[in-house]
Structure formats: C-alpha cells, structure tokens
Chains A and B, each alone.
Chain A
C-alpha cells in the first residue's frame, strides 16, 4: 500500500491557514520591493548595497545624534541667552575656561563654578558604587536564577518587573517609602526606633539614590548575565564535577571566564547609564540635600533650562565635557574588548 501523504508532515490547522493568509500581503510587499532593489543593485554594484541598507538608520542617527552634537559644540563657544545659534555672540573657549577655573581641582569650593565640580565629584562617587553594586547583585541574582529552584520563572519575572516601570514612577514609590512620614519611618517608629530623615542627611540621600537605581535596573543586567550563564556548555561543569573540582574553583575558572564577554557588556552599559543618571534621582532627592546628589546631567539641565537666565552656552560646554568622558569610556571598552578577543 502506498501512502498518499507524508505521515511525518504536521496536519494543517486553521491557525496555519490564517497565518499563510496573513503572510500574503507581506510576501506581496517584498516582491514589490524586489524589482527596484534589483535595479539599484545593477546600478550601484553589489558592494554598495550594505551601505544603502544602512542609510535610513544612519540618517536617523545623524539627525538626532551627530547634528545635536555639532550644535552643542557650536552653542558651547557662544554666550547670551538667545536660542538661535546665529544670534548668539561668539565667546571662544570662555565657557570652558569658566567651568575649569579652579584653584584646587580636588576642592570644588575653590572653583568658580563650584556646582559643576560638585556634580562631577558626586557623579564619580555614584558611578563607582552604583556600577559596582549593580554588577555584583546582578551576577549573584543571575547565578541563583540559573539554578533549578522552585518558582524560577516567577522570580525571574519579579526581578525584571522594576525595569518595566517608568523611572519617575520608581522614584515616586521610593519617595513615598522614605519620606519623614513614609512607610519605612512608620515601621521604624512602630519598632520603637527614631525617625530617620533620609533626604536631609547627605550620606543617606546618596545611599538611597544608589540603592533605588540598582533596584530599578538590576533585572535588565541580570537577564544579560543569565543568557550568558545558560550559554556555558554543561559538559564543562560535568567534567569539573567528575574531577572533584571545588565549587569556588568552578566559579573562578569556568563560570567567570566564560561569562566575561557578557560581564563586559553589563559593565560598559551600566557605566554609561550611570554617568547619565538624572530622572530617578531628580524626582527622588531633587539633587539634595544641598548639592549632595546633584549629578552632571542635572547640572546641565538646571543651567540650561531651570534658571531664569537660561545659559545654553555653559550647559552645552558641560555637555561637551560629559560627551568627552563618555567617549573615553567607550574607547576603553573597545580597547578591553579587542585585547580580550586577541588574547
């Protein structure tokens, strides 16, 4: 007896039919594009086609990144408060000179623009601790979530959930918890302890700025590390187990080296995002107490927009300095990645 159909073929369901019906317009669309692209390929040559495909994205990137970058450079060498670049007087490097006018760079109080240097100092402290804790906690969480524990899917969702929240919402929730009459102080009082004015003490304010930021973004970095952990071949662990290798040695000699490319991505992304911190902390602490949690982006925003005299020139000069810092960080990242690839 001869079978009329292949028994291994999946039976055609209504779902399949709907899918193939829906794909008709897409197929028609691509067929329609086929003709002009073949013509373009003949005209430009096959070597130019990748650039053609990159063009839309490049145009978008150029318009919203490269052009503003040059505009910012332009504004930074002008003064006054006019919005249009052409109407602003040229002042050369005066804005930069003003920013860098310091008797002692380690003491912001001796600088003419003390708030800029305080913002730089605060950003440095924030980046150091935030990135450190972010990487540490993300790694620990990823290692735990990679194990066969009960409710693993639930916990993965729980740790990722804060990433989905708007930074303003995150900050408002935590503000509600930490205020003088907030949930945390109510708890402390109910335990017979004294209230702590978290937003009046500079150390507490910085601590909570770091804590909230780590809490809000940790899930994203955990996910990257988790993907890296799952990509490590299990036979390496089996071999190590058969050799009786200690767990700590397995971590340092197998897990961490193989996870390093993902770790590098996490470190660089966290670093860049950390230098750019603004929204969460601005809503949470308002940059206070005093200037204790005022970071560089808030300084730029305040100088350029929140003052009565909107000093776009000085704000742009500070933006250029921030851009240079981020550029250097990216170069370091590229150098480290290249060395790793070559090694």
Chain B
C-alpha cells in the first residue's frame, strides 16, 4: 500500500512538473482584433485548430472597439508597446510599425503570388519587398438598394451604366410614392466619397504624385452631395449631425427600410444577411457611373505582424497557417468576405450562405473589382489617404450645415491636407 502511495505521489509530481514546464515553454501571441460581424468568432475557431496543432503556442484574440484600433493602437505602437499582431484598416498609415515577415514565413513566393497587389498597401515607404500581412477582407464600396420598395412603388431601377443623377431621381420617386423618410444615405466617410469623385474625374494626385485632393472631379461630386442635402435627397442627420471626420453609418436605417438607397460597401453583406434576411430584397447594385469611370473604392482590413512582437518565429508560423488557401477559404466562406487572396478569387470561395441576396451582393462586389479605377487603387495605397479622407468629410460636413460655403470648404480641404502632411514630414 505504502509502495503504491509513494508511486502515485511520484507520478503526480512528475505530471505536475511536466505540465508546469510545458506551460513555461508555451509562447503566448496576442492579436488586437475588431469585429464588423462574426469574423471574431470564426477566427477563434481557426485559432483553436492552430493551437491544437501547435501546443507550444497560445493565441489570445483581444477583441477591441474599432475606435481603439483607429486611435489608441497607433499611440501604443508609437510608444513601443503593443500586441504581436493586429487587424487594421489604416494599412499605409501604420506601415512603419509592421514586422517584415519575409524571413519568418516558410514560402515568401506564395505570399507574393497570392497577396501581391495588396502587399503594396502595407509596405512602408522605401520597402518595396516587405511582407507585412494579408487581407482578412477585401472591400469594395458601392450602393445597396431596397428592391422591394422599388417594386411596391412601381418604379424601375436604373440599369447598367446609370449615373448618380439617374439613381437620385429614381430613389426620390420611390420615397415620394411610399413616404419613405430618407431617399438616399451615404456613410459619413471620405473613403465612400472618393470612389464616386474619381468616377466624376477626380485625380487625387498631381503629376508629381503629390496629393491634390481638390480638382474639378471632386468639386463636381461634392457639389452634388451638397445639393442632395439641401433638396432632401439625403437627410442631414448623418453628415450634418456630428463634427470633424467622425464616421456614421446608415445601416440601421437601411435595415429598417427607412432608406431606399444606401452607399456603403461589401462589408455590410454578413450583417444584412443576418439582420434583414428575407424581410425585404436588399440588393447590391454596380457603382453608378460618372464621365470618367464607374468605380467604387477598394479597401479592407489586414492582419499584420507588428515590430513590437518578441516572438517573430512563432508569429511567422501563425501567419503561415492563417494565410494558407484552405484556412482562408474557411475564413472568407464563413464570414462572407470578399477574398483578398488572388488564388481564391480566381477559383472561387465556398461561401456558406443560402441567401440569394447575399450571394448576389457578393457576386456584384466581387465583379466590381476589375472595374475599379487605377486612381482608386493608388489612393488606397497612399500612406496619408486618411488625411485626405478626413479633410474631405469634415469640411464638406461643415459646408452642408451652412458653416461655410462650398468654395471655402474646398480651400480649407487643401490647407488641412497640406498642414497635416507637412507636420508628418517634420519627422524626417
């Protein structure tokens, strides 16, 4: 009995020792993450599978509010603190903090082949070969319409190559007939305005590649937006009710059938599929046309490795796993995100939805990618694009509520962009 007891105690001590040493050997990686929909849940499932295959690595997913990713993370990174990886949308703005994964991933050629054009968006100035991360989501801006309202009002939806003016006339017609409070709504975001402005002929950059926000194309689109706020096509609640560059979306109003047409983007698909379902036909339509193009803006979120990590080898291992075609097929398929992986974009993602509206929206937005203007791609890849977006939205918002004229707003936009970029360039 005593022998048995001694043996049990010894075995227990040995097991405890092994567990303790395993725990001590375990590397913890932290990911700063935000959610638009269910992607956090999906990513957790995937990380669980990774952990099962790599018992020496534990991955913690810190889900933060989007505002914290946008405002607190940059300060944290500038202070030399931060997580090992982060899901970010200010791809160029934070590029100075990204870790070059080239020596840490098993096959850099796979990355260049499948994420090629998007890698540029994450490269710091002067580092054209750096691999920083991959797109968790490629987005394209574009409008949704409430097709059921069009049918109820007996108004035909404008067809292919319709302009913004054609759509404005149609949605006003529907709103009037059915007493819908908001004929058209746009997200309060400079990124959302940029695509239509480029369609109207905005170049965004001068011949030297320097930012030149205000030109005739941008003026044309901004003036149209201004006029729509004055004639009631757009409600002032969104663009007029807050200051500066604060983002406001009309997704709730659209989901409640209070908006006929909503200019937003592909990232709303999972949310609309869940919230609206088959309550009405929410329909993605191609980006309306202007004299220069029929384009939206590309964009998206990327999972990037950060220089603040103390475990670059483990980060590389994790990124190898997450970026594999099989894992990304599961991730994009379950989240209903447009793939930021060229191989999957070509072969097609197995989207896990039976909703015909969601399928149609995914096809519409994915089909819009080849038609995106090169100016839009350049703007998305520009390091200080948010400076331009913010100047655009804040000054246009002030003009819309009558604090300044449109001409004054254009002058202020140019000054704001120049001032902020000059401040940044002081860093050398």
Contacts and interface: CB of A to CB of B under 8 A. Distances in A.
Interface string A284-296: 0111111111100
Interface stretch (A8-16, A65-73, A74-82): A74-82
B243 A81 contact: no
A308 B384 contact: yes
Interface in B366-391: 384, 386-387, 390
A81 B408 contact: no
Given A302-B244, A306-B245, A308-B384, A288 B401 contact: yes
Contact of B75 (A288, A310, A311): A310
A294 B244 contact: yes
A289 B387 contact: no
B71 A200 contact: no
B147 interface: no
Contacts of B245: 306-307
A287 B242 contact: yes
Interface in B100-126: none
B37 interface: no
Interface of B: 71, 74-75, 78-79, 90, 93, 181, 235-237, 240-246, 384, 386-387, 390, 397-398, 400-404, 408, 412, 415, 420-421, 423-424, 426-428
A92 interface: no
B390 A308 contact: yes
Contacts of A291: 243-244, 398, 403
A109 interface: yes
A302 B386 CA distance: 14
B419 to A, nearest CB: 8
A156 interface: no
Nearest to B384: A308
Contact of A307 (B78, B397, B408, B420): B420
Given A79-B423, A79-B426, A308-B93, A200 B241 contact: yes
Contact of B241 (A199, A302, A310): A199
Interface in A175-217: 180, 197, 199-200, 202
Nearest to A83: B78
Which of B242, B244, B390: most chain A CB closer than 10 A?
B244
Nearest to A288: B242
Given A200-B401, A294-B243, A307-B420, 8 more contacts: A79-B426, A199-B241, A291-B398, A298-B243, A302-B244, A308-B387, A308-B420, A309-B387
Which of B79, B93, B387, B427: most chain A CB closer than 10 A?
B427
Contact of A287 (B181, B244, B400): B244
- What are the nearest 6 A-B pairs in CB distance? A286-B242, A287-B243, A308-B386, A80-B426, A290-B401, A83-B78
Contact of A200 (B79, B237, B246, B428): B237
17 contacts: A82-B78, A83-B79, A89-B426, A89-B428, A91-B426, A197-B236, A286-B241, A287-B242, A288-B246, A289-B236, A290-B400, A291-B243, A298-B243, A306-B71, A306-B244, A308-B420, A309-B387
Contacts of B241: 197, 199-200, 285-286, 288-289
Contacts of A308: 90, 93, 384, 386-387, 390, 420
A309 B423 contact: yes
Contacts of A311: 420, 423
A279 interface: no
Contacts of A306: 71, 244-245
B240 to A, nearest CB: 5
A327 interface: no
A299 to B, nearest CB: 9
Interface in A108-146: 109, 112, 114
Contact of B237 (A83, A180, A302): A180
Nearest to B77: A83
Nearest to A305: B71
Given A200-B236, A287-B242, A287-B244, A310 B74 contact: yes
Contacts of A199: 237, 241
Contacts of B246: 286-288
A109 B424 contact: no
Which of A81, A82, A180, A309: most chain B CB closer than 10 A?
A309
Nearest to B241: A199
B426 A290 contact: no
Contact of B403 (A81, A112, A290): A290
Nearest to A98: B419
Which of A89, A291, A311: most chain B CB closer than 10 A?
A291
Contact of B404 (A109, A200, A313): A109
Contacts of A287: 242-244, 246
Nearest to B408: A109
A311 B74 CA distance: 13
B179 to A, nearest CB: 13
Nearest to A114: B412
B78 A288 contact: no
A313 to B, nearest CB: 8
Contacts of B79: 83
Interface string A86-117: 00010100000000000000000100101000
B390 A307 contact: yes
Contacts of A293: 243
B240 A200 contact: yes
